[in-house]
Amino acid sequence: MQHIFKLAAVAALCASAAAHAGVGFDANLETNTDFRKETATQDSITNGGRVEINAAAEAKNGDYFVKARGTMLVGLTGSGVSIDDAWVQAGSSSVDLKIGRFEAMDLFPLGKDVAANIGNVGYNGNTLRGRKTDGRLHAALGVNASPAVRFELGLVTEKQAEGASYGLRPVVQFAAGALTVRAGVEAIKTDGGGASSTGLGLTAGYAVNSSTTVNANFASNSKQDKSAFGLNATFGDAGVGFIQGKNKATNVKSTSVYAAYTFPLLGVKGASITPALGFYKETGKSNDTAFRVRINYAF
């Protein structure tokens, strides 16, 4: 019943906001059916997914702008209603500030990561990337130094909760032609007396043509003794990827390999089906193999 009240409230809010010019709404459904084998005797078949409802708006005054976006997720497994994105961004073509629940620049993009068993015991440079759920402030100051160079300074504030990470995250992006390079640093502190650390992340992507992109990632945190290296590529509707993570402190390594291909579903506009295969291996544990079938439909 509580979920029904929440949905009714959101519907009323959407109806009210629709009267304002510039507000756009869209929604989509995603289901995932997973066939998973973790040991020689343990198999599982599960189903999950969500309905995603988005509202977005942008207003301009000369060179100045204000943007906002809200995303609600309704779980298909009885997990209730949650919020994904909820942010406001304001500024100009030169500088802007974003505050709320969002994801900042990605320092370890995975490409077509549909496979169910992606894992990594290492560090991926995205500890302070965002979408915090416990009330901490997340803000990102962006500066466009030139058409090709953007600088972003992220801040996640302290929460006074055991194990919560916070700190500063400066990232610089260079994008010119087919090449996009990002490099960043995470100055990580941990509530509850945890050790502080500094992580580095570097990613480079190259668009071979309009439908083919290759990407390489590397991240390392020497204080945590963790690192990761990844390669992935997309070829139109297909994608493959590889990740190797290391935790030197525990002498554990992990390897992930994944692939996926998206087909139109019965020729219906906005509908697709994606079979995906993933393999995960970690030191001291049984191998994890999964086959996922994802169905997407944009309303």
pLDDT at 96: 98
pLDDT of residue 3: 45
d(CA 224, CA 77): 36
| Residue-wise pLDDT tens digits, 239-293 | 999 999 999 989 999 999 999 999 999 999 999 999 999 999 999 888 889 999 9
- 69-102 pLDDT, tens digit per residue, is 999 999 987 768 999 999 999 999 999 999 999 9
Tally the domains of the chain: 1
172 pLDDT exceeds 90?
yes
Based on the number of CB atoms within 10 Å of its own CB, is 242 exposed (0-12), middle (13-18) or buried (19 or more)? middle
pLDDT at 37: 83
Residues of the chain with pLDDT > 90, as a percent, come to: 74
What's the domain range around 79? 2-298
For residue range 28-73, list pLDDT tens digits in order. Answer: 999 999 998 876 556 788 899 999 999 999 999 999 999 999 999 9
CATH code for position 9? 2.40.160.10
Average pLDDT along the chain: 89
Is residue 230 predicted with pLDDT exceeding 60?
Answer: yes
CB 200 within 8 A of CB 220: yes
pLDDT at 5 > cutoff 60: no
Give 152 or 7, the one with higher predicted confidence: 152
Name every residue whose Cβ is closer than 8 Å to that of residue 237 and which is 6 or more positions away in sequence: 261, 262, 263
Quick one: pLDDT band at residue 13, thresholds 50, 70, 90? very low
